Amino acid sequence: MLSSIYLTGSSIDPGELSQAHKSDWRTLAITRLMNHGLKVTNPLEIPWTETEFNFDEAIDLAGSSDQRVRRALGLIDQSDAILANLERPSYGTAMEIFYAYRSGKHVTVFGSSPLNPWVATHSQARFNDIDLALRHIIGNQPRSAPVDWAIHYENQLSERYEQMPPYGEPDYKFFGGDLPILVIAPHATAYFREGEFQEQESFTGSMAVLLNRRTACHALTSNYCLVADPCVYADTPFKTAIKDLVKAGNIGLILMILGSGQQTPGLQIDHCGPTRDYDFEQRLRLKLGALEEIAPVKLAKSQEELDRETGPLSRFIAEELAVPLVTVKLSKRYRMPRLQSMLFSRATDLLAQFVLESSSYLNSRLY
């Protein structure tokens, strides 16, 4: 799993740079860190050239101020560490340092001495120049333990379990990747079905995002309370997002992660969609069989129950989008990383292996 570094701090006005060095510190950091195999999150789009630049026009990828703050916090949550430039202190940089440190992230700062006591208290590494700061990060490769990362991510998500999305924001969240596989968790938050409130299937979203971090697959999870269950209803933003992703990208397999209740303990696996010489269901069954004996979903519930719970979305993916779909249902015991960390880790490891092996097969068919 690649270390992910979030960059924060003001950019340098090119007018202040020497003629021999025309790059912003972010460009330098991105180049150095990525050359050493780290993933970099740069929350700013800075539209400038060597001859024309207006720092005030540097904009975040989101829209309004509230959206920018929420997006920044979300990006920090997904990162393992942050690198902060303190040459031009700002309220935003200070708040991001504070939030990251309190969230258990590794905070590295660089700037002129002496540093403010608040910065010194809320950072693990402090340097006078960017070169030393980058050497420190490259040498230490800070990573969050997968279980700790999942718990922290779920803590943040739990604040939105029963919250409707703010105006203008979707009720889902997409995490881009490089592999031709999309992992979805449509019940990561609470949702409504037939007018009845349904509780979230906890840690299914965290597991999907963790697979994105570990394998570079795509991931799509619910991010706020859903007014309509995307597994059942035809026109939902979540379902539309799946359609758009399949049409826009090279998606050769969709893995849906759901939770199961106490009445259906253990693991269940099902498959639908185009058949190929590579049996995705059987390979996942063999993979997860290391945990316990697995019964097909169809043996655990009647066809009527299956159609009511996930049938419409499954048929849409398999028939209209013509993409193979593998569904795995995890009982609560595999979704309790605080109490059953080994089971959570093992299940995630095996799913990651399945994703990587399936990706190798799909890529071999394309090239």
Ordered by start, the domain boundaries in the chain are 4-140, 164-366
User: How do 325-330 and 253-259 pair as beta strands?
Assistant: parallel
Q: Which residues contact 50 (CB under 8 A, 6 or more apart)?
A: 14, 22
CA–CA separation, 224 vs 317, rounded Å?
Answer: 22
2-6, 38-42, 47-51, 293-297 — which is least confidently predicted? 47-51
Q: Taking a C-beta distance cutoff of 8 angstroms, is the pair 69, 87 a contact?
A: no
Region 296-310 average pLDDT? 52
Residue 70 is predicted with a pLDDT of 82
Q: Which pTM was predicted?
A: 0.75
Region 121-137 average pLDDT? 92
Region 346-353 average pLDDT? 95
Region 193-208 average pLDDT? 95
pLDDT of 53 over the 70 cut: no
Model confidence over 68-95: pLDDT tens digits?
788 888 889 888 899 999 988 788 899 9
- 260: buried, middle or exposed (CB in 10 Å: 19+, 13-18, 0-12)? buried
* Domain 164-366 bears CATH identifier 3.40.630.40: yes
Region 129-149 average pLDDT? 85
* CATH code, 4-140: 3.40.50.450
User: CATH topology of 4-140 equal to that of 164-366?
Assistant: no
Residue 22 is predicted with a pLDDT of 42
